[in-house]
Chain A
Amino acid sequence: MGEKIIDVKNLVKTFGDHEVLKKIDFSVEKGEVICIIGSSGSGKSTLLRCINHLETPTSGDILFHNEVVKNTQKSLTKYRSCVGMVFQSFNLFDNMNVLENCMFGVRKVLHLSKEEARTRAITHLKEVGMAPYINARPSQLSGGQKQRVAIARGLCMNPEVLLFDEPTSALDPEMVGEVLSVMKSLASQGLTMIIVTHEMEFAKNVSTRTIFMDNGYVVEDESPEILFNHPKNERTKEFLHRYMEAKVS
């Protein structure tokens, strides 16, 4: 077993009286590719956002290398520079071009030199096939291209873990493939990732562990072979069954 990077302990998150996450416990080891699946509203995004503290947990802790992540700017800055996030809506900076988007965090958060930032940016933009577009503005790119830039921007920070919240859900179907193939290649390079997704094929083929969430609980946390072929829980079976039906029709 690899080295433990993130530990989620007794995580509870409520919005008003609505308890969205109910005592979540799980940990992430180096090199794991964890896919989180589950129906809409089950709390997947909230879990991911709590993991990098975009939402402050109501109770419970997030541990990073066995240390509790404190809710101070200093400790959050350090933590978030190691745990990147890719969003469904890309969230690229509209006032910067592609190259500047990728250099931004390296300069402003890691405080590295311009040369280093540029080298990293070009390297990772090449990796996602977006290097020719360094001068383009986000508004001039397609959804798939934007998402690949967003992934490159995340990689430029040299994160230990990269979180993805439904990275292909906002894309036209013909662009889903290009983003998934980039993610697949990152997985094969051993990057640790937590991916919330509705792409079941991807989860089945690429993840090393799949988590099924329902109604704020982690219902099943298994290898994809077991979860997809022999789910133990009734709810998991139902969800997968519904999913298969939707796909056939």
Chain B
Amino acid sequence: MEYGLLLSSTPGAEGSLFAWCAFLLKKYSGMFLSATWTTFYVAVIGTIIGFILGFLVGITNTIVIHKEDNPIKKVLLHILKWIVAIYSEIFRDTPMIVQGMVIYYGLRQNDVMISSVMAGILVIVLNTGAYMGETVRAGINSIDKGQEEGALAMGMSHFGAMMTIILPQAIKNVIPEMGNTFLSNLKMTSVLNVIGVSELFLMAKTAGGAYYKYYESYMVIAIIYLVLCFVINRILAFVEKKTKGRKDYELATEYITGD
């Protein structure tokens, strides 16, 4: 009886935190669910494309311009490196919330009718790219140069050596950082409420505003963020453990000779 009441009408002014949370969650279940989904996919898509951008930035930063290269190639490489340097400086030196506003309203005022979700993804992509670029650059530089020479000396191209020898190792080294970036992006989607992305933060603001129950409403999404991040953290830890590989190896006994 009491339960039925709790779910159909408000818990009232004297209602407990739990009662109000349960009420809001029930009343806005569809909205919270879709907001959770929005938060998740904006973060996932933004992060994945951001990683790709970050790798391109990181690789560009590690290109060595040789004196013997042809002049056109040298000029193009210098320009490319400049663009990349300016881009990553700007996005690392401004807050994401401001970037969101500038990009969203900037584009719309110039007649690019971008949706707020698209703008949100774009902001995450550009942010992730700038930060991952640094991580990837450091990851690539941490792989000893000799391995690339080993590959070059047997006839591989720079690009081939990069793709088959250096990057696989660099990626392995930056996997923990990639995980952190994804988690941080998942939480940072909350700032996208300022450009109207219907993610969790905006939802909590709406739901809380309807009953003037902000504390309870934000508690609801705090728990949703917590559960999401907790699960993802466990998954990432598992993946990281898997990529570490085995410490020992099996002797190929069939090739052991008498001497």
Contact = CB atoms under 8 A, between A and B. Distances in A.
B169 A132 contact: no
A132 B255 contact: yes
A104 B249 CA distance: 20
Interface of A: 52, 54, 56, 71, 73, 76-81, 84-85, 87, 89-95, 97, 104-105, 108-109, 122, 125-126, 129, 131-137, 140, 150, 153-154, 157
Nearest to B157: A73
Given A93-B147, A132-B253, A54 B153 contact: yes
Nearest to A136: B249
A80 B154 contact: yes
Q: In which size bucket is the chain B interface?
A: 20 to 34
Given A77-B157, A132-B255, A95 B249 contact: no
Contacts of A131: 252, 255
A169 to B, nearest CB: 14
Most chain B Cβ neighbours within 10 Å, of A84, A85, A132: A132
B106 interface: no
Interface of B: 66, 68, 143-144, 146-147, 149-157, 160, 164-165, 168-169, 172, 249-253, 255-257
B153 A95 contact: no
A133 B251 contact: yes
Given A80-B154, A105-B154, A131-B255, A94 B250 contact: no
A160 B156 CA distance: 18
A122 B68 contact: no
B250 A80 contact: no
Given A54-B152, A80-B155, A105-B155, 10 more contacts: A84-B154, A85-B154, A91-B149, A92-B147, A93-B150, A131-B252, A133-B249, A134-B255, A135-B252, A157-B155
B155 A78 contact: yes
Contacts of A157: 154-155
B152 to A, nearest CB: 6
Nearest to A157: B154
Contact of A108 (B160, B249, B252): B160
B18 to A, nearest CB: 52
Contacts of A77: 155-157
24 contacts: A52-B153, A56-B68, A73-B157, A77-B156, A78-B155, A79-B155, A80-B154, A84-B154, A87-B153, A89-B146, A90-B150, A92-B150, A93-B147, A93-B150, A93-B151, A104-B164, A105-B155, A131-B255, A132-B256, A133-B249, A133-B251, A133-B252, A135-B252, A157-B154
